[in-house]
Amino acid sequence: MPEHLSVTINDVPVCVARGTTVAAAMLLAEQPSRFSVGGEPRSALCGMGICFECRAMVNGVPHRRTCQIVCEPDMTVATNP
């Protein structure tokens, strides 16, 4: 069985399998990674680090490409400001 770990997404604790990317975790938690210039909720599109739709705030740093980041215990994730 894979290990699980807990991250916080928009102040809500979420339990994910070890190895889950932050983008996948945000999708599982049904939280948008960012809001577009026009106010639309957006999530990962290309899954390979190119589209930048998966940008979110990770541990206080905005604009991080979450499809390229693997969840770590106690990570704080928030929809990109």
Tell me how far apart the alpha carbons of residues 48 and 34 are, in angstroms, rounded to a whole number. 17
Contact between 6 and other proteins per CB under 8 A:
no
Q: Which residues, in sequence order, are bridge partners of residue 42?
A: 34
25 φ, ψ to 5°?
-60, -40
Site for other proteins in 13-52 (CB under 8 A): 16-21, 23-25, 27-28, 30, 32, 36-38, 40-52
Using rule CB under 8 A, residue 68 touches other proteins: yes
CA 54 – CA 67 distance, rounded (Å): 6
Contacts with other proteins, residue ranges (CB under 8 A): 1-3, 16-21, 23-25, 27-28, 30, 32, 36-38, 40-53, 55, 58-59, 61-65, 67-70, 72, 75
